[in-house]
Structure 1
């Protein structure tokens, strides 16, 4: 979208200052007995105990379910709009795979073998893989975003940060709620949730969601197939049992069945062979690949047991199993002909067990914990080369890769806080992690098309059959000191270390291994080292101040951050000419610990209750991330030519709301007008700048109108998103020399949408 429209949005928002604006901000408003509105205390569990957000010496942004509902937030991607130094996007070529970066640390590639740099949790359960992790927002208690290394307090060690998606617990009284949404592109969403006590100690509840929307664009090759379409069914169930006054159990289960049409790319160049033009609508595609049929199925269950031993000690145990399968046809060239078609399947399973012993004393509080993860991640995909015609009848060359990675991880961790004086507290923690990876990477060449769809092409050659195993272990400490000279001020300094285990390149090809040890031949040791990549590390320093001002009418949080990021894992894919005909016909992985970098930044968030009607909020993130060293595949240091991917230098948002009493049809209630602006600086899709794919700075403008009755039964709202219709890239593929047509394709964020929602609470 043009700069003029962006300026227009800014002028409109500023001129509406007296009428408009809150948004995704981590607090809510309440009326005290005096009648003056102040900011309500926000309680989080970032340190495995309930604490005020302002008291926690950690960079954290929290969103309540009530706030998310009022803002019409549809999925977890949207919370990045108002969270500093955070990028959340739908991964390229998928509908529900999450790409997450916090403070420059993350992982874009979703194939087996690459571990996420940002931990994703549903309640207390860590999601080992990014597939099916673009969670829709319904029946949510809150969402917490923790920035910086995590690991001494719960779950899996994560090097960049963690996102906690916390579902609602059940009420003691019968409840039921229904929500229906109608919107642009024929959006029709319905969510029904409720719970009921079966006895004084036993409760059962759940929710069902049906979420549908036409595509933002069309597939001009495949009749009836739309691009960026949505067709999803979700369900959750929960059973809570208070066995005794001191012992409780919570059994939860969730299901996602996503039958959305495949999301294909928009070509940024004309076809080299056919001269196919660039389409006018960035949401349209001409992709011809139709196998396998697009689908995502995910299910999981968890049993949480909590035992209060006495006033000081308690035990918590989290037992979980999850399983997901994603079938996706990825047409890299996005053209009807078979030139670079990649049908793929991701199949993941995980079992996890976590035990915590929690202590709360007069001055000492903390926990000991044990975590175990047994997970498998399998990725299989074809790279099919051809020209035109029916895919299944072509004699085209197919480079098939089957990668399977088994993870067996265990860790012990502890974190304790000593209240040294009434004003000063000191925290010390640490974690020992052991990650064992077992990997097989099998690459074979076929003639006759895809291995999907029931057709088995003719095996031509086995180009790689690698099996490897290695264990990575590390101790990562954490220390923090907090000084609270008054109840309104909290000055803290935190040092923490992060660690992400190594693995084996899931797209590596053993025949490409060089003579690493220089002994004159390429043996098993050379192949092992070629396929292996080592752990990466972060040493993070943070100086922060959290404050409450003007009798709790203003809260602010500012943090100065510095991180030393070493042995950075750099996944990459390069084209390969396997038959020496002068054309690259497949790609292979080259992953190395190529990088060393420094990251310096600031994060500033605040919320102000201006008067009884107006509330203003803001967030600002600045991150200067620079490579000190970047060794490319040829052994050359190219640090001055590389940048951090998915990490804009500046992220910012500003929000304001106007709220006043308003009776509707003689029913007392309140009416709010809510608008927000979120800004993201220039963003690179890869470490190597790619002007065609990189996104220039842009601003998104959202606007909501909300009416709700005083009894909390009815809510009616209208939500507009991206009102200036910005066209902004969120992901892409860049293979200019691979195949005959050249494959440079982009994926875009949502265009302008409007959604009208009605909710009724059966109290």
Structure 2
């Protein structure tokens, strides 16, 4: 049945595209006015191409989610988008609370270590967020979120080869406004958000939004008694809009995010083993080395301290020179700091315990020139980024109790071995870009664009083993002249450049049915492996190369049956080359890391999003995503034999389920003079691997999630009451894991899980 459904979907999409032709892009002067998005999507305005266009006309595979749409089922943060977007994976990174892992159409980056680049770009009000720490953005005070699928290298540049996620905050407007929302729920959930805007005269409006987001842990650290999988976040934004003339506007933003949630140590999936393959914990303590009864519990022994702080400021200036020309400047600075601990083996044993910090800073400047004429519109600009990412972590490699009785000179060995990994990467990137659309006639139009990007990276990497519980980076001391056991110590720099073009042709069949065909490209920058062990993989000092994606896509968007059906469909085929693969391999008493440009891959698939209005009060929605992603070549260096072989037949794409589907209903009715909205939703993800190679203990089988929301808005519109249930069947599903199966590391295979069944009640007041 699955194969028949797959064939039917692809055949339907292919027939639709064959019948459709190619759609006319909306030009700036024809764009719909800024309006609240409506259920059928006909008036939704997006900025996927850096100018206002209607969603159903823009020749890109883009999903748009209004605040109202996301609020129907109580979506807490941007990871909820993967339940309603084809071929999208957005998850909280393994071992963290607020670090984002993003994949679109098979392209992304699972490892959030400093120096590694994401494959999906994240933007907040057109400001690029370079690092994934603190990037699991909570949904509050937003206007909409856009998800752009496929390479966005022309307008968004490096590291958007999978796509981009655009988080657009709510405009301040020119009237006094105030919103307060309180949410209470399962696990002592206590969320409070406040936002408002205040005009100060005719030209200046100031605004603020603050969110205090808390809930108790879904589990507990059974060793320390601390909460596990809890949340303790405080975030706020300050804004000001200044419009001294009709032709000039300026917006200033400052945001701050602080996460004091406890660290996540994972759930042990296997029995702990000692170095000889026997059971590590026996007798009365045998339970410590077994998987805990609750997937959210742990016996981790390293501690429960964790803190993430991010903040940033931006200024967006826009001047309308005349009716056709506009210039725009976007200036931004950001910085972040993470201090955390991770217990990889999930037991009180002093092994595979990690103490770490991450630090990053970035400054960016973008200039845009926009032209809007009767038959031609364009955006062109220059972009500059200067960023630094650094960090260090100690990894406990185990204790050496055998040395304890051999005299004072050897007593220091009883504290075991600690591996220090530290480094820094500075990136200076500049780019020049343009994207132009030309209308040939009322039916036919085309667009062409390109971007030249040049990255200069300077990397330093240090890796060494120290005797003792801590390295000098975390307050330890160095013992003996032979210590440390130096593995890596180098500094190097490289320059990477690429030209990423995009071409599309569009045709407008009717006012309600449009289509497009496009070829787009993107690249993700190369760099240096911060974990690289030069004693095992000496080529690590040379860094790794960029990876590239070229995608061909045809799509159909529009409405039918008197606007009762609104939909967007596309089929795509991508060539993926120089794929960057991050691998860690156990070698003796250490773990060797390597980043390989493994080779080539092909991805092809189809996507559908649609809503159907049965009655004025009842609407159904559906999304269907299918992808067939295969490695054509996977060249891997074996650190044990020193031989490079092609293992494409054994490898699969990680975090890329073949099917990502969702189905929902929205029913509206007038009750007691107000509006009642009930919205059930079901989402499906087929089985997926956590890594390129199958791991039955960690890989996630297919699963469904079911959510339900019900809200009532008072006749005045000032009050809204909501009741929400998420993951109603209490599905247990993995979102990440670590694999250190060697007995010397305690046979440590640990997994991280998505939230359990939760219920919430909300009360919202708007003025």
> 1:756 & 1:345 partners in 2: Cα distance?
37
Aligned residue for 1:704?
Answer: 709
Q: Partners of 1:195 and 1:556 in 2: how far apart?
A: 35
Residue by residue over 1:485-542, the C-alpha shift from the partner in whole angstroms, topping out at 9 and shown as x without a partner, is: 211111100100111111111111222245xxxxxxxxxxx5633xx11111111000
CA contact (8 A) 1:341 1:383 kept: yes
Match of 2:241 in 1: 240
Aligned to 2:253: 252
2:204 is the counterpart of 1:202? yes
Equivalent in 593, 599, 603 of residue 597 of structure 2: 593
CA contact (8 A) 2:528 2:540 kept: no
What is the 5 A alignment of 1:658-697?
658-663=667-672, 668-697=673-702
- 2:637 counterpart residue number: 633
Shift, 1:388, TM fit: 10
Give the CA deviation at 1:385. Answer: 2.3
Give 1:138 deviation, angstroms.
Answer: 0.2
Label 1:600 to 1:154 Cα distance change in 2 as closer, same or farther (>3 A). Answer: closer
The answer to whether the Cα contact below 8 Å between 1:27 and 1:63 also exists between their aligned partners in 2 is no
Equivalent residue, structure 2, for 1:4: none
CA RMSD of aligned residues (A): 1.8
| Partners of 2:498 and 2:389 in 1: CA distance | 23
| 8 Å CA contact 1:155, 1:371 repeated in 2 | no
C-alpha contact 1:289 1:331 (8 A) present in aligned 2: yes
Aligned counterpart, 1:519: none
User: Using the alignment, how far apart are the partners of 2:466 and 2:200 within structure 1?
Assistant: 59
The whole-number CA distance in structure 2 between the counterparts of 1:312 and 1:394 is 74
C-alpha contact (below 8 Å) 1:715/1:760 kept by paired residues: yes
Match of 1:604 in 2: 608
Give secondary structure in 2 for the equivalent of 1:528: helix
> 1:280 Cα shift?
1.0
In 1, the alpha carbon distance for the partners of 2:756 and 2:313 equals 35
Structure 1's 397 and 657: CA in aligned 2 closer, same or farther, altered over 3 A? same
Q: Give the deviation of 1:467 after TM superposition.
A: 0.7
**Once the 2 structures are TM-superposed, how far is the Cα of residue 681 of structure 1 from its aligned partner?**
0.3
2:532–2:540 Cα contact (<8 Å) kept = no
Counterpart position of 1:490? 514
Contact in 1 for aligned 2:158/2:524 (Cα 8 Å):
no
1:156/1:503 CA distance change after superposition, 3 Å: closer
Question: Where does residue 455 of structure 2 map in the other structure?
Answer: 435
**Could you say if the C-alpha distance between residues 403 and 551 of structure 1 is closer, same or farther in structure 2, counting changes exceeding 3 Å?**
same
The residue aligned with 1:523 is: none
Query: What is aligned with 1:512?
Result: 536
Distance 1:354 1:336 in 2: 50
CA shift in 2, pair 1:95/1:248, >3 Å: same
Change (3 A) 1:728 1:571: same
Alignment of 1:62-141 (within 5 A): 62-141=64-143
Whether 2:470 is the aligned partner of 1:450: answer yes
Distance 1:589 1:39, change over 3 A: closer
Give the drift of 1:720: 0.2
Q: Distance in 2 between matches of 1:148 and 1:527?
A: 30
Instruction: Spell out structure 1 runs of 4+ moving beyond 6 A.
Output: none
- Name the counterpart of 2:277: none
2:761 is aligned with 1:756: yes
Aligned length: 702
CA distance in 2 between partners of 1:631 and 1:454 (Å): 37
Residue 396 of structure 2 corresponds to residue 384 of structure 1: yes
- On the 8 A contact 1:683/1:697 being kept in 2, the answer is yes
Query: Counterpart of 1:503 in 2: which secondary structure?
Result: coil
| Residues 482/200 of structure 1: CA separation in 2 closer, same or farther (3 Å cut) | same
1:646·1:684 contact (CA, 8 Å) conserved in 2?
yes
What SS class does the counterpart of residue 70 from structure 2 fall into?
Answer: helix
What is the Cα deviation at residue 113 of structure 1? 2.1
Match of 1:466 in 2: 490
Deviation at 1:642, TM superposition (A): 0.3
Alignment CA distance shift 1:233-1:216 (3 Å): same
Unaligned runs of 5+ in 1: 1-25, 31-37, 515-525, 578-583
TM-score by length of 2: 0.89
SS at match of 1:591: strand
Name the residue aligned to 2:174: 172
Instruction: Quote the residue 2:325 is aligned against.
Output: 313
Q: Equivalent residue for 2:432?
A: 412
What whole-Å deviation, never above 9, does each CA across 1:41-96 have from its counterpart, x for those lacking one?
Answer: 21111111111100001000000112222331110100110100000000000000
Q: Give the superposition deviation at 1:191.
A: 0.4
Deviation at 1:740, TM superposition (A): 3.6
Residues 179 and 766, structure 2, Cα contact 8 Å, conserved in 1: yes
Counterparts of 2:763 and 2:457, CA distance in 1 = 49
Q: Distance in 2 between matches of 1:317 and 1:29?
A: 31
| Alignment deviations for residues 145-199 of structure 1 (CA, whole Å, 9 cap, x no partner) | 0001113224655111000000011121111110000000000000011110011
- The equivalent residue for 2:25 is none
Alpha-carbon distance change, 131 to 156 in structure 1, aligned in 2, over 3 angstroms: same
Contact 1:441 1:464 in 2 (8 A): yes
Residues 330/416 of structure 1: CA separation in 2 closer, same or farther (3 Å cut) = same
Q: Distance in 2 between matches of 1:639 and 1:453?
A: 40
Q: Distance in 2 between matches of 1:43 and 1:608?
A: 20
Secondary structure of the residue aligned to 1:640 is: helix
TM-score by length of 1: 0.90
Q: What is the CA–CA distance in structure 1 between the aligned matches of 2:205 and 2:696, rounded to whole Å?
A: 56
CA contact (8 A) 1:125 1:155 kept: no
Asked if 1 retains the 8 angstrom alpha-carbon contact of 2:256 and 2:312, the reply is yes
| Deviation digits for residues 182-237 of structure 1 (CA, Å, limit 9, x no counterpart) | 000000000011110011000100111111000000000112x1111001100000
Whether the aligned pair in 2 keeps the contact of 1:316 and 1:355 (CA below 8 Å) is yes
* Partner Cα distance (1:473, 1:145) in 2: 26
CA contact (8 A) 1:693 1:732 kept: yes
Measured after TM superposition, the shift of residue 29 of structure 1 is 4.4
Equivalent in the alignment of 1:422: 442
Is 2:533 the partner of 1:537?
A: no
Indicate the residue corresponding to 1:478 in structure 2.
Answer: 502
1:675-720 deviation digits (Å, cap 9, x = unpaired): 0000000010000111110000000000111111232211100110
2:591 is the alignment partner of 1:571: no
* 1:337 has 2:349 as partner: yes
